Amino acid sequence: MLACIFKLFGLACTLVFSCLFFEQKGYAENYLKKESSLAPIPASEQNLQTVFAEEWLTLPDVHGVEGPVFEQDGKLLLSDLSGKRILRISKNKEISTLFHRNDISLGGLAIDQTGHIIIASLDIAQNKGAILSLDHEGKNLKILIPVSAGLLPNDVVFDRLGGLYISDFRGNATDPSGGIYYLPPEKKNAVSVLPHLAMANGIAISPNGKEVWVTEFARNILYRLTLSDPTHIIPLDTNAVYYFTGAAPDSTRTDKNGNIYVAIYGQGRVLVFSPQGIAFAQILLPRRDEGHNLRTTSMAINKESNEIFIVTSDDKDNNSRIFKSKIPL
């Protein structure tokens, strides 16, 4: 009897140690696989719901893209940073140049109710920027906020009233001299809404129009602002809801359900948050583990097809690309 007990105990120990060995081996292989990636997923985000995007269009010899936005007819506009152009892309993937400017780069884009295109333009090296306006044909250029205002506009978004929120990209990690501004519908002077940000970047508005979501590029933070009116934040309702790991939160969008999408510049992916600011999903771009397609800057949501179009650049082949994915549920 005693011999049987010792035998069973020995078998049990062998089984336990075997399980531990294979578990550790599997963990080690998994760990090494993640370590071999040139863009590893942070440990806290590895178990998020994950969707893989697919390539939609390559933009040869375009070094940096920003500000994608859909026009009413379904065409996609985006900014070619190095070429200082706005490109228009048809549903059939035909590419044309809508607007070109020699003196300053063109960044975030927004379209107003009349179809006019609003452009956040900036030159970081010369520390200057402006807000421009074009008609649907890329003509009738107007300057809404001049260079003399001293801002570095990065991204723009309209509210329901026709006012324009602007992220000011000034500053760095130890110099929070940027912020969020609001240009009223009558297009007079811009008003400061949230000062003292280190390179304010992405900006988006919730479907109910009451919340503004902002990314702080140099400090890796996602903010939620609850507003009493377009320029005033409700007391105690400015929240830093998420701190990112690694560089760096770029442009931001919201969908019809109030979920928030943040492009992660340098990581080739997009993080998805609930309306409460809880990360629940991520969208990964192809070949990111090999160091391709990492300069993810922005995205546009096609509400009709329930798809998201993500723009990025590739330092390895000096091309830019647009990727497409279904919106995570």
Q: What is the DSSP letter of 45?
A: G
Which class for 329: exposed (0-12), middle (13-18), buried (19 or more C-beta within 10 A)?
exposed
Tell which phi-psi region holds residue 12, choosing left (phi > 0), alpha (psi between -120 and 50) or beta. alpha
Cα 178 from Cα 153, distance rounded (Å): 10
User: Taking the CA of residue 181 as centre, how many other CA atoms within 13 Å lie in the half-sphere pointing to its CB?
Assistant: 26
Identify whether 80 is a catalytic site residue. Answer: no
Cα 95 from Cα 214, distance rounded (Å): 31
Q: What is the DSSP letter of 280?
A: E
Structure tokens at 46: 């590895």
- 3-class secondary structure, 319: strand
Active-site residue, selected from the candidate residues 80, 155, 168, 250: 250
Q: What letter represents residue 234's amino acid?
A: I
Structure tokens at 160: 């329901």
| Pair type for strands 49-52 and 279-284 | parallel
The answer to whether residues 286 and 293 touch, using CB atoms and an 8 Å cutoff, is: yes
- The string of DSSP codes covering 90-154 is -TT--EEEEEE-SSSEEEEEEE-TTSPEEEEEEETTTTEEEEEEE-TTS-S-EEEE-GGG---EE
Instruction: Write out the catalytic residue numbers.
Output: 250
